[in-house]
Amino acid sequence: MKIAVCVKEVPDAGPNRRIDPGTLRMDRSGDRSLNAYDLHAVEQAIRLKDAAGDGEVVLVSMGAAKALESLRKGLAMGADRALLVSDDAAAGSDLVATSKVLAKALEAESPDLVLFGQQATDGDGAVLWAAVADRLQFPVVSQISELEVSGDTITAKRQTEHGYDTIRAALPAVLAVADSLNEPRYPSLKGIMGAKKKPQDTKALADIGLDASEAGDAGSRTTVLGLGEPPSRGETIKIEDEGDAAQKILDFLVERKLV
């Protein structure tokens, strides 16, 4: 079983996350790591490969060249190799462009399964898999909280606004997994040491057969027109617990006559 996992390097959450007001793009200069939701997809891929007894887990990503550092976390967990599509002409890609690049890279890999995380914490789109699946012409199931693979079919359970659906699909398929599907393992020391030696390819757009005009701003169909101030929620208090947090919560409620 060959499993491709789409993973993304994202800026760490916290107050320093911002959109660059000059370029109107995500500021990616600060601390970054592998999108935490994608670890669940990596974990599931490794488990499926282990259960099948053979196969390969390939991480596929589009991002800046330095994103390889973040991909190493997936390799340390147990993925076999990483493929990063990185090109200055791909910066600023929206959904149309990103899905085109990933689908093209995935096509060349011909995997049995393509796994996605449930959302990227920088864009919170939770849509990319559907676009990639359409380009690959694979069936797609998203928000998967339970998954079973048997022969050429997968059976998945997922939550919607109306309860739970169980969906069966034929392989090859695109699957987006929810964070509840599994608990991602921590890489072992051996895994971390071994990760550096695993194959890690960086390819430019031309290497995967795409023209520069198909990605980045040129290949995108959406645009950010301007930034505004977010509505303020008023004063917020943030404290470290020094043994008195419970008392402070109670005082806070009592002052506002809420208990």
Partner 1 sequence: MSTLVFLEHHGSAIQKGALGVLSKAASLDPDTAGVLVGSGVRDLAAQAGQYGAKTVYVADDPSLASPLPQPRVDVLAALVRDKGLQNVLFGASVLASDVAGGLSARLDAGLNWDMNDLEVRDGALVGKRSALGDTVRADVGWTAEPRLGLIRAGSFEATQSGGDPAVEDVPVSLEGFSTKAELVEHTQEESTGPSIEDADILVTGGRGLGGPEGFAPLEELAAALGGAVASTRAVVDSGWYPYPTQIGQTGKVVSPKVYIGFGVSGAIQHKVGMQTSQVIIAVNKDGNAPIFEFSDLGVVGDLNTVVPQLTALVKERKGS
Ligand X SMILES: Cc1cc2nc3c(=O)[nH]c(=O)nc-3n(C[C@H](O)[C@H](O)[C@H](O)COP(=O)(O)OP(=O)(O)OC[C@H]3O[C@@H](n4cnc5c(N)ncnc54)[C@H](O)[C@@H]3O)c2cc1C
Pick from 80, 103, 116, 208: which binds ligand AMP (CB under 6 A)?
116
Residue 181 DSSP code: S
Q: What's the CA gap between 176 and 129, in Å, rounded? A: 7
Q: Is residue 62 within 8 Å of 101, Cβ to Cβ?
A: yes
Choose the stretch contacting ligand X; rule: CB under 6 A; options: 7-15, 45-53, 118-126, 166-174. 118-126
Which of ligand AMP, partner 1, ligand X, none has residue 104 at its interface (CB below 5 to 8 Å by kind)? Answer: none
Q: Is residue 129 within 8 Å of 253, Cβ to Cβ?
A: no
Q: Which is nearer to ligand X, 116 or 138 (CB)?
A: 116
Q: How far is the CB of 245 from partner 1 (least distance, A)?
A: 5
Q: How many residues does the chain have?
A: 259
Q: What's the CA gap between 157 and 144, in Å, rounded? A: 6
Which of partner 1, ligand X, ligand AMP, none has residue 99 at its interface (CB below 5 to 8 Å by kind)? Answer: partner 1
Residue 21 DSSP code: T
Choose the stretch contacting ligand AMP; rule: CB under 6 A; options: 71-79, 124-132, 192-200, 249-257. 124-132
Q: What's the CA gap between 71 and 194, in Å, rounded? A: 13
Rule CB under 6 A: say whether 126 interacts with ligand X.
Answer: yes
Rule CB under 6 A: say whether 118 interacts with ligand X.
Answer: yes
Rule CB under 6 A: say whether 179 interacts with ligand X.
Answer: yes
Give the C-alpha distances (Å, rounded to integers) separating 178 from 2, 45, 173, 192, 222: 21, 13, 16, 25, 27
The residues that touch ligand AMP, with contacts defined as CB under 6 A, are 6-8, 35, 37-38, 41, 61-63, 98, 102, 116-117, 119-120, 123-128
The residues that touch ligand X, with contacts defined as CB under 6 A, are 118-119, 126, 143, 179
